[in-house]
Amino acid sequence: MQNKNNSKTKSRSTTQRTMLWIVLILYTNLLNANNVDIQSFKLENNYLTLRITNYGATIQELWMKDKNGIQQNLVYGFKNPMDYKTSTKYLGSCIGRHAGRLSSPLVLDGKVLELQNTNKNVQLHGGKEGFNRKIWDVISLDSNSIALSYISPSGEEGYPGTLKIRAEYRLKKSQLTIKYTATTDEMTVINLTNHSHFNLSGSTLPLAKQFLMINADNTLETTKELMPTGRFIPVKSGPYDFKSLKKIGEQKFDTVFALNPGGTCLTYYAEDSGIQMKISTNQHGMVVFTPSTLNTICFETQNFPDAPKFEHFPPSILRPGELYEHNTVYTFNIIKSK
pLDDT averaged over the chain? 90
pLDDT at 82 over 50: yes
In the predicted structure, residue 36 carries a pLDDT above the cut 90: no
Angle 244-288-193 from CA coordinates, rounded to 5°: 125
In sequence order, which residues have a C-beta less than 8 Å from that of residue 149 and are 6 or more positions away? 136, 137, 139, 164, 165, 166, 167
In a domain, 293, yes or no: yes
281 lies in a domain?
yes
The CATH number of the domain holding residue 95 is 2.70.98.10
Decide if 117 is inside a domain: yes
Q: For the whole prediction, is pTM greater than 0.85?
A: yes
Asked if pLDDT for residue 31 goes beyond 90, the answer is no
Per cent of the chain over pLDDT 70 is: 89
- How does pLDDT run across 189-237, given as a tens digit for each residue? 999 999 999 999 987 789 999 999 999 999 999 999 999 999 999 999 9
pLDDT at 3: 52
For the range 237-245, what are the long-range contacts, defined as Cβ-Cβ under 8 Å and sequence gap of 24 or more? Answer: 240/214, 242/212, 242/213, 242/214, 243/213, 243/214, 243/215, 243/216, 243/217, 244/213, 245/211, 245/212, 245/213, 245/269
Phi-psi region of 136 (alpha: psi -120 to 50; beta: other; left: phi over 0): beta
> Looking at the domain assignment, is residue 132 inside a domain?
yes
Locate all alpha helices (DSSP H) within the chain, ordered by sequence: 2-37
Q: How confident is the model at residue 20 (pLDDT cuts 50, 70, 90)?
A: very low
Number of domains in the chain: 1
CA 42/CA 147 separation, integer angstroms: 12
pLDDT band at 10 (very low <50, low <70, confident <90, very high): very low
Residue 28 counted as domain residue: no
Structural domain of residue 278, as residue ranges?
A: 38-334
